[in-house]
Chains A and B, each alone.
Chain A
Amino acid sequence: MKLERGPITRLIDVTLIILIGFLAIADLGERTSLELPREVNAMLDTLQLDQRRLTLHGSADGAYHMELVSASGLRRPLGMVQGADTLQAVLGRLKEEHGLGGVDIEIEGTAIVQYAVDAVDACDLHEIPREIRFLDESGAAQ
């Protein structure tokens, strides 16, 4: 049995095809931006005396080397973690155990940008204040 397709049906078909076409090419992903402020030492001034901070050094192989810094400046290496999920878990534990007041993130120039965003994301997950420095190829902070 042959179905009759009236002009209205054809118009709806054309409209839907156009709509689907636009949807297919539209960039609908939600975006945000990671601000890279010029002054990166503002957070350290707000730390309370009994708070410790963590230095997180991201390297090219995706590893994050951690160092706990006390309010008096004493540094204690905590080893390294690999991968975003592990980093999130470790930061949560460190926040509970040491009451972290903040995290200084340093990213090596050869590390990919995603590693930097992973470190920031892990801090934001646990609501730990953070600052980020991108090191250039010579190792100088920007």
Chain B
Amino acid sequence: MLRLIDIVLILLFGFISISHIDRSIAVELPQASYLPELPPDFENWAVVAVDESGAWICGFDKLVMQDPAGLENWLLGEKEAGVTHVRLRMEKTRPSAEVAQLKSLCEQLDLALALEVLVNRESVE
């Protein structure tokens, strides 16, 4: 039976080693209680995150863009790859002007934009 435990652990380490694990981005999303649930569509989404420091972090590769031109180039590349929607994961304490900035870029590139919100139904009950 100890052999079985060894096998389970080996499998676990195997899964960990092939997993895509890298640094996570600490983003505390804005919260809401009454926003309707919208089913996510993961097929044509690109994700842009803005962390507490205000850095633009793009896609699952977590590329950090230093300026709007870099962000625009990245979005253009995503659009050419078939992306139609951008999902914005923004730290809740960041200024709204940054949403306006990304919205303007998305409009130029004909991309739809949505702001990701954490649903907190408990506060309703």
Q: In the complex, A114→B4 CA distance in Å?
A: 50
Q: Which of B9, B94, B101, B116 contacts A33 (CB 8 A)?
A: B116
Residues of A within 8 A of B (CB): 6-8, 10-11, 14-15, 18, 29-38, 58, 60, 107-118, 120-122, 124-125, 134-137, 142
Are B117's CB and A29's CB within 8 A? no
Q: Interface size bucket, B side?
A: 35 or more
CB of B63 within 8 Å of the partner chain: no
The residues of B that contact A122 with a CB separation of less than 8 Å are 34
Shortest Cβ distance from residue A66 to the other chain B in the assembled complex, whole angstroms: 18
Tell me what chain B mostly uses at the interface: helix, strand, loop, or mixed: mixed
Q: Are A114 and B97 in contact (CB under 8 A)?
A: no
Q: Do the beta carbons of B5 and A14 come within 8 Å of each other?
A: yes
B55 within 8 A of partner (CB): no
Assess the A134–B33 pair: CB atoms within 8 A. Answer: no
Contact in complex: A32, B37 (CB < 8 Å) = yes
In the assembled complex, B69 has its CB within 8 A of some CB on chain A: no
Interface 1/0 per residue, B29-51 and A, CB below 8 Å: 11111111110100000000000
- A34 interface neighbour in B33, B98, B115, Cβ under 8 Å: B115
Q: Closest CB of chain B to A142's CB: distance in Å?
A: 4
Task: From A8, A36, A109, give the contact of B95 (CB < 8 A).
Answer: A109
B95 close to A110 (CB less than 8 A): yes
**Within the complex, what minimum Cβ distance (angstroms) separates B102 from chain A?**
9
Chain B residues with CB under 8 A of A142? 99-101, 103-104, 107
Task: Kindly provide the distance from the CB of B84 to the nearest chain A CB, expressed in whole angstroms.
Answer: 13
Q: Does B93 contact A (CB under 8 A)?
A: yes
Establish whether residues A135 and B96, one from each chain, have CB atoms under 8 Å apart when the complex forms.
yes
